Structure 1
Amino acid sequence: MADLSLDRTEVVELTLRMAWHLDHCEWERLVSLFTGEVLLDYTSLNGGEPLSVPRADVVAKWRGNRSGLKATQHLLANHIVTLDGDTAEATAMFQATHSLPNEHGSPLWTLGGEYRYGFTRTGEGWKISALTMNILWADGNRNIRDLAVAD
């Protein structure tokens, strides 16, 4: 029988590691947190439709978005985890601050909202299989995202 408290701890740890590795540009470690394909839903930010994306492509996109920024900081809190055998779901509130000193406005862009994660238990342990970002608020200079990619 599975230890539900241990499973919950591992799932929450995965969400925290995702944020940590992203903020510290630890790309290989970030890739290892995901299943081969990830159902990614950033429609609250970019519009469009959710997509099933190879994990390497997810991390490559994030790496491209992060590379021109001075720093990012993703804070997570209020995790709620639902376990169901070899699958799990979790939600967490987030605040993501992006920093890029520039001549075109504020050096910060901050998003706040909710992440919804899907998890699958694999032979290597729990992995993130789905991620949805639901933005509830934003503040600052959204243009720093484009300025960072342009550099």
Structure 2
Amino acid sequence: MTQRVDLATVMDRLALDDVVTGYAAAVDDGDWDAYRALFTAGGRADYRASGGIEGPAAEVAQWLAGTMRRFPVRQHLIVNRRVSVEDLGGYPGDSAEVRADYVNPMRTGSGEDFESGGRYRFTLTRTAEGWRLRSVVIEEKWRRTGTGGAAEGG
């Protein structure tokens, strides 16, 4: 590989990371316009493994907006990202997949804690506007609920 190809691959990986981070921030901040903007025109999301819905990103954003009202405190931590960019004979292509684990602590308005963890599968496409999500599939592996106590600082 040439340095130019290596640099393009690094730039793609950084851009893909920005999309995944933007996804987490949009959900945590309840910014449903930003959430929808992360997807391609035909982009879809699948939350069925966590008891949710599957469908076009706009419909899922509407469902999330209603569902997430129960959780005024939420924070998606997306880690262990494995990025795979389409390889066109040593050159990066226009599709990619990111598989990443998550831990999602949240708290309801009444103080009940809710935590879940699992894996995301993000499928992305390079567009004229940059990388966009073609699909997001959540694979919830565990969840825990309980009543939260007072937060302690150190």
In structure 1, list runs of 5 or more residues that go unmatched: 142-151
Q: CA deviation at 1:107?
A: 0.6
For residues 12 and 61 of structure 2, the distance between their equivalents in structure 1, rounded to whole angstroms, comes to 25
Q: Aligned letter for 1:98?
A: M
Q: 1:41 to 1:25 in 2, by over 3 A?
A: closer
For residues 78 and 44 of structure 2, the distance between their equivalents in structure 1, rounded to whole angstroms, comes to 20
For residues 95 and 42 of structure 1, the distance between their equivalents in structure 2, rounded to whole angstroms, comes to 15
Pairing 1:37–2:42 present: yes
The structure with more radius of gyration = 2
Match of 2:108 in 1: 100
- SS of the aligned residue for 1:86 comes to strand
Q: 1:68 to 1:136 in 2, by over 3 A?
A: closer
List aligned pairs for 1:30-109, cutoff 5 A.
Answer: 30-46=35-51, 51=54, 53-84=55-86, 85-102=93-110, 107-109=112-114
Q: 1:80 to 1:33 in 2, by over 3 A?
A: same
Kindly report structure 1 stretches of 4+ aligned residues shifted beyond 4 Å: none
Match of 1:125 in 2: 130
Q: CA deviation at 1:69?
A: 2.1
Question: Deviation per CA, 1:32-83, whole angstroms, max 9, x where unpaired?
Answer: 1111222333232228xx84x3321121111111123221110011111000
RMSD, aligned α-carbons: 1.9
Q: Aligned letter for 1:21?
A: A
- SS of the aligned residue for 2:30 comes to coil
For residues 47 and 71 of structure 2, the distance between their equivalents in structure 1, rounded to whole angstroms, comes to 20
For residues 140 and 113 of structure 1, the distance between their equivalents in structure 2, rounded to whole angstroms, comes to 15
